[in-house]
Amino acid sequence: MSWFSDFLTSSIGRKVVMSLTGLFLILFLLVHLAGNLQLLPFLAHDPAGDPGKAFNLYSKFMTSNPLIKTVSYLLYASILIHAIQGWLLWSKNRKARGNQGYAVKVNKVVGTNSFAASNMGWLGTIIFIFLAIHMYQFWLQMKLGHLPMAYYDGVEVKNLYSIVAEAYESLGYVIFYVVSMVVIAYHLNHGFQSAFQTLGINHHKYTPFIKWVGKAYSILVPLGFAIIPIYMYFFM
């Protein structure tokens, strides 16, 4: 196994780990967004009924389907590996840079967002704090907490919608959530295209397309997430 551990602890190997876990998390965000959008009444296909029905049934499915449960362990592992490896890289890179900084700082880059690219560690740390709060508030309550129950066609389902709706009633929480989405947008803006570059995927035929998709993704997905609490705060 020594060649494998050598590979994983080499500078490029560490980056490949960041890239693969990052791409998996990017894909997960889309699935998560598809679920969250059912919080919006006009997307939930049941405008007359219980506003939480679609979301609660979806949550029930996500926590009971064996395939999704299996993938969820991969997700938890990805989050932890991406975060721990990220902090390791961050601290090693700061050590490599040294204590004495430049008196004049210039941030010229080529084809990426210089703010996002040079602050991935900070952005990632903020996202991790957001995730910790977010998972305590919803994920842990769904798993272990005593949620109120809802009944749909005689089936008892945990009413996750009730605590989501309650959280989104607070303006402070909505602001915290939206700011976190802006942070994720910046992190994705650099991370999306960077993941491909790390895997060696860079070619003048398709790299402009990857960068374009990355930009669109980094704006649209966090925007999709952010619209939900804003809509629920103002209109529900």
Partner 1 sequence: MKLTLKIWRQKSLKEKGRFETYKVEANPHMSFLEMLDVLNEELIAKKEEPVVFEHDCREGICGTCSMVINGEPHGPMGGTTACQLHMRHFKDGETIVIEPFRASAFPVMKDLAVDRSALDRIIQAGGYISVSTGAAQDANAVPIDKDTAGHSFDAAACIGCGACVAACPNASAMLFVSAKVSHLALLPQGKVEAKRRAQAMVKQMDLEGFGMCSNITACEAECPKGISVENIARLNREYLSSALGSETVA
**In terms of CB distance, is 48 or 96 closer to partner 1?**
96
**In terms of CB distance, is 179 or 199 closer to partner 1?**
199
**Which spans of this chain sit near partner 1 (rule: CB under 8 A)?**
2-3, 6-7, 10-16, 89, 92-93, 95-98, 100-112, 114, 117-118, 120, 190, 193-194, 197-204
**In terms of CB distance, is 72 or 207 closer to partner 1?**
207
| Contact between residue 188 and residue 218 where contact means Cβ atoms under 8 Å apart | yes
Q: Which residues pair with 150 in a beta bridge?
A: 157
CA 37/CA 2 separation, integer angstroms: 46
Amino acid code (one letter) for 107:
N
**In terms of CB distance, is 97 or 143 closer to partner 1?**
97
Shortest spacing between CB 31 and partner 1, in angstroms: 26
Shortest spacing between CB 182 and partner 1, in angstroms: 20
Residue 158: strand, helix, or coil: strand
Shortest spacing between CB 205 and partner 1, in angstroms: 12
Shortest spacing between CB 83 and partner 1, in angstroms: 15
In sequence order, the 6+-apart residues with CB closer than 8 A to the CB of 8 are 14, 17
E-strand stretches of 110-211:
149-152, 155-158
Q: How many CA atoms lie within 13 A of 215 on its CB side?
A: 8
**In terms of CB distance, is 2 or 64 closer to partner 1?**
2
Shortest spacing between CB 112 and partner 1, in angstroms: 6
Nearest one of 114, 84, 64 to 21, comparing CA atoms = 84
DSSP letter (8 states) at residue 109: -
